[in-house]
A and B are shown apart, each in its own frame.
Chain A
Amino acid sequence: MKDKFFPALIAGIVTFVLAFPLLGLSIVADGLTLGLEGADTKTLGYIALASLAVFFFQLWKSNIVAVAKSIPLPKKAYSSPAARSQSQRDKREKLFTLIVVALALVWPFFASRGNVDLATLVLIYVMLGLGLNIVVGLAGLLDLGYVAFYAVGAYSYALLYQYFGLSFWVCLPLAGLFAAIFGFILGFPVLRLRGDYLAIVTLGFGEIIRILLNNWTHLTGGPNGIGSIPKPSLFGLEFGRRAKEEGNVPFHEFFSIDYNSGYKVIFLYLLALLLVLFTIFVIRRLMRMPVGRAWEALREDEIACRSLGLNRTIIKLSAFTIGASFAGFAGAFFSARQGFISPESFTFIESAIILAIVVLGGMGSQLGIILAAVAMTVLPELAREFQEYRMLMFGLMMVLMMIWRPQGLLPMKRRHMELTNG
């Protein structure tokens, strides 16, 4: 205890020294000069309390850690005895997936409008997380500028609508295509880079796109953004009160029901769900195809990959291109949902959040990423009451997460393949 007393005391004092000038003093304008004023006693009390808390925490840290360690970790989602074969597990997985999808389909009709809207946002992040997972989780290429492809997708739809009047359904594949092209273009210069250098270049690329969008005023509208982007229609049925485009019929008139703005929200949710399911399906397929395995092999050992005659250029470019195209889809959907986009929506913090989703979820694991996307989007919303402390809690959560489950929520499991003639 004695040897811990002084370090703990120092930690407490440091807390006080740091907190007092930051929180305990405030600057007041007194005519032309600035004066310092102590904060009210309540704040000072809090500072003292915080310092004491730090002191006692440091003092009893080992006991606290021991207690925390004794809390059992969550068991694996489904304990799978080795005896159960892969095919049985596949069946269970399929059933589980079907139930979840069915619930996700039915749920919005009973939930509140706000919750459905939030769920739509979650689904966008799921899509982005899954897309980035290809680049970071599978191919092991740290991409800090993923938001650029999201922006490309969003602006593709917005601009194509604004200048050529193309509809959402035409623009969706085009947005994916444009994002893929940008992924390809970015892929080339970074082929030789690895690790930190790759991260810096991709970070720069993300910023270049944002700044370009911000400054190319006569094309993109600059910081004013692009407004009145139409919502997607359902086979020509629109969800507004009145049809905006000629020949289109509003949804409620077609089915002769009363107008309800909730339909639009639910429709967007279902559309996002559809896109997510498509993304999951495609990526699952890719992961089981040779190209998916090649991405992982490249992450594990580049030299060994090359020794087997694999072309790393093609593998890396395919990861970048395919990963980017999903961000393009997500971007097009995002601009349709928002109806308004500006470069503000595509700052670095978005890249960071998407990356956090991938890391938090457990690199490479799809289910983990879905859970992480839910956590990363819903928790900040729930914590909205705490206002400015929201990000602080967010950070705390991440730190705790890295201590307890550094491999992510649900790390990727390897499929056990069985040979036909084993």
Chain B
Amino acid sequence: MLKLQNVHTHYGKIEALKGVSLEVKEGEIVSLIGANGAGKSTLLMTVCGDPRASSGKILFEGNDITQANTPDIMRSGLAIVPEGRRVFAGLTVLENLHMGGFFTNKQEFESTLEHVFKLFPRLRERQSQRSGTMSGGEQQMLAIGRALMTKPRMIFLDEPSLGLAPIIINQIFEIIEQLRDEGMTVFLVEQNANQALRLADRGYVLENGEVVLQDTGDNLLVNEDVRKAYLGG
């Protein structure tokens, strides 16, 4: 579904991605783990077209999106839940979801909204609350819900467990699994390697802008190097 072929990305003169190749197949959960500054977020941003890849190819459903504009990429069936949630704090929950469904028609909107409310009953309860006044977990749910409102076929999650209590993290991961069961393709970027790999069908390990390991989630969980570097021994 998504294919990166030898992608290089530069911030000015600094090379953040040094020839990354990876693939996400339809209906999979793929996790990308790596330390701070490994280039995880850069990889996501490159797929979204900001910054653009300086060389290499990015294919989404067979279409070359390497040089496409960010708005066009984001409207092509791909959604991202940005790091740190980034809900529109001054807007109500429902207005946030309206922003997600900006390009859908009324009927599609209503049915997608119903779907999101079914996934996150909490959002229905809080629909007229300002989203900035909600807890971190609720905001994360809203961020995911908002991304789902764009009716994506593939969803990117950038550190969804950031700053959340373990019990909330479990809830979020359950939702991710549920999404996969509904046929959504999920690309998960996480520092919380343990949970991310447990959930994933396949995983990639990114180090200094390069993919150093790739395997099934279960195999990576027991891999000696991964255990040492990311799972605390």
Contacts and interface: CB of A to CB of B under 8 A. Distances in A.
Interface of A: 290, 293-294, 296-297, 299-301, 303-311, 414, 416-417, 419-422
Given A294-B102, A300-B88, A308 B74 contact: yes
Nearest to B72: A309
Given A296-B88, A301-B86, A310-B102, A414 B130 contact: yes
B100 A308 contact: yes
Contacts of B73: 309
Contacts of A290: 98, 102
B111 to A, nearest CB: 10
Contacts of A421: 110, 114
18 contacts: A293-B99, A294-B102, A296-B90, A297-B88, A297-B91, A300-B90, A301-B88, A307-B82, A308-B100, A308-B102, A308-B146, A308-B147, A309-B103, A310-B102, A417-B94, A419-B113, A419-B127, A421-B114
B104 to A, nearest CB: 11
Interface in B120-134: 124, 127-128, 130
Kindly list the 8 A-B residue pairs having the minimum CB-CB distance in the complex, ordered from nearest: A309-B74, A300-B88, A309-B75, A304-B86, A416-B128, A311-B71, A307-B80, A297-B99
B4 interface: no
A71 B91 CA distance: 32
Contact of B150 (A294, A297, A308): A308
Given A301-B86, A414-B130, 19 more contacts: A290-B98, A296-B88, A296-B90, A296-B95, A297-B88, A303-B86, A304-B82, A304-B146, A305-B99, A308-B150, A309-B102, A309-B103, A309-B150, A310-B99, A414-B91, A414-B95, A414-B128, A416-B128, A417-B95
Interface of B: 48, 50, 70-75, 79-82, 86-92, 94-95, 98-100, 102-103, 110, 113-114, 124, 127-128, 130, 143, 146-147, 150
A422 B147 CA distance: 21
Nearest to A363: B90
B92 to A, nearest CB: 5
A311 B69 CA distance: 10
Contacts of A297: 88, 91, 99
Contact of B87 (A304, A311, A419): A304
A99 B80 CA distance: 48
A308 B144 CA distance: 11
Given A293-B99, A297-B91, A421-B110, A310 B86 contact: no
A293 B91 contact: yes
Contacts of B89: 300-301
B91 A300 contact: yes
A360 B87 CA distance: 27
A299 B100 contact: no
Contacts of A299: 90
A294 B70 contact: no
A307 B147 contact: yes
Contacts of B90: 296, 299-300
A301 B96 CA distance: 11
A296 B131 CA distance: 13
Nearest to B76: A309
B75 A304 contact: no
Contacts of B147: 307-308
A310 B73 CA distance: 11
Nearest to B90: A300
Contacts of B71: 306, 309-311
A239 B55 CA distance: 71
A416 B90 CA distance: 13
Contacts of B95: 293, 296, 414, 417
B50 A308 contact: no
A421 B106 CA distance: 13
Contacts of A294: 99, 102
